Amino acid sequence: MTTIFDSGVSKTPLINAFKPANIIFSNISLGIIDFGFRFGKDFYFTYDLSLKENISFGFPKEFAQLLIEGNAPGTSDGMVIPLKHFGFREEAYLEHAFGLSKEISPELTIGGRLKIIHGLFNITTNTNNSSLQAYDSSWYYNKPMYAYASVPVAGAWVKDMSGGVSLTQEFEDNPEKYLQDHLTAGSLFKNMGLGMDLGMDYRPSDLWSLSASIVDLGFIHWNNTTSARMTTRQDSAFKGVYLTPEIVDDARGRALIARATLDTLRDLLLNQFQKNSGELQGYTTFLTWKFYAGASYFLWPEKLSIGLLSRTEMYYKHVYERITVSANFFPARFWSATASYTFLNNTFSNMGIGMNFKLGPLNLYLIGDYWPLVYGKQFIPYQLRMINAQLGMNLLFGCGKRIKDRPMISAY
């Protein structure tokens, strides 16, 4: 296998693949309880309890170029990397969602959901509009950066000898055991938040369906008894990774250089945040909002439809857009399927497929999308940007004969 660390391999195509603003993220949602029922003539109520974890890391193209190519030796001015799109965020929270929709007319349905949120864990960085200056022998950032952290147990933070705060040694050694021993029901109410979703579905005819929604408008306030803010020094520097001729001459050694660089940067940041004074301080984070707009048309009434869905979201002051086209099949009342094709990050090689089974009151579904279609010689999906999978089951009672299913693609 050939890698970018082998001599004679051009790094330019890989560097050019990065955008001015890039993001790596993971979103996990575990549904615990959800149910819904009709009441009155035109109302429908839903309740969902779910546990969610979101992780995101944003970085500019210049940062990726620096890690891959290094700073040009012998340059006195160095390389300046703006950190406007640079940041890390991880959060976990428990969400209660109370939904209500109303059929205004046979064509128009509107609805919304109110979310009560219990924050469990958060790490958020703020680059303070700083920039990274990379020279031959060291890298500097020109302004202090901030890190905010919160855990659901107030006693996890203790005063250190310098007057700042840090996590207890017991928590750092085994955070899972510490939380098991100290987490109580009251801890869930330490970090409270609110959110809302709004949406509409309009069907001008039996063949056409139009929809729009905005979800995750909200915030979480992390309590000052469970949260801390830490600041780095302005003169912090990264002085590189120690290399020997044997490492540089060895192919495996060259492949480890990037890993060593990232590990050293991580240790640098952690040490800087720990060495500088921190303080117990509450703060507020906002949920990552998402806007959906979609349309579908039945080519064969109640049997075959095609759809178009746009998804827009913002990470680190940059808007990301996805466009998905889909075909939805309803060959029998007990079985339906969907196939989709997504334009994402300037690539079209993202396929999706889904299955839905109705076995009496039991509803089973399996959906996956953003599966790559292009592979390299070693069966490596080198154009893979992301992947998504959903698996679930529902118990349905009192359903009429009229087909009211929305295309599965619009559930995203």
C-alpha 221: how far from its chain's center?
Answer: 19
Q: What separation, in Å, do the N-terminal and C-terminal C-alpha atoms of the chain show?
A: 37
Sort 156 into a burial class: Cβ within 10 Å, 0-12 / 13-18 / 19+.
buried
Between strands 227-231 and 278-280, the pairing is antiparallel
168 and 296 inside one domain: no
State whether 40 and 149 are in the same domain.
Answer: yes
* 97 vs 106: CA distance, rounded Å: 26
Please list the residues that pair with 323 across neighbouring strands: 310, 343
Same domain, 229 and 357: no
Q: Is 388 helix (H, G, I), strand (E, B) or coil?
A: strand
The answer on 258 and 370 residing in a single domain is no
Q: What is the pLDDT of residue 411?
A: 38
Examine the domain organization and report whether 310 and 186 are in the same domain.
no
Gap between the Cα atoms of 228 and 276, Å rounded: 12
Which residue, of 243, 265, 286, is where some domain finishes? 286
Per the model's pLDDT, the better-predicted residue between 235 and 24 turns out to be: 24
Q: Say if residue 340 is in the same domain as residue 401.
A: yes
Question: What is the rounded distance in angstroms from the CA atom of residue 19 to the CA atom of residue 30?
Answer: 31
What does the pLDDT look like over 7-60, one tens digit per residue? 566 777 777 778 888 888 888 888 899 899 998 888 999 999 999 999 888 888
Q: Domains in the chain: how many in total? A: 2
Whether residue 67 is contained in a domain is answered as no
**What are the pLDDT digits (tens) for 129-178?**
777 777 766 667 666 777 788 877 766 666 665 556 666 777 777 777 77
Taking each continuous run of H as one helix and of E as one strand, the counts in the chain are 6, 23
Quick check: 346 pLDDT over 80? no
Work out the number of other CB atoms within 10 angstroms of the CB of residue 333. 11
Domain limits at 47?
Answer: 14-55+89-128+141-198+219-286
Give the other-Cβ count within 10 Å of 328's Cβ.
25
**Contact between 230 and 149 (Cβ < 8 Å):** yes
Cα 387–392–395 angle (5° rounding)?
160
In the listed set 257, 286, 315, which residue is the last one of a domain according to the structure? Answer: 286
pLDDT of residue 76: 56
Residues 345 and 329 in one domain: yes
**10 Å Cβ neighbour count for 149?**
23
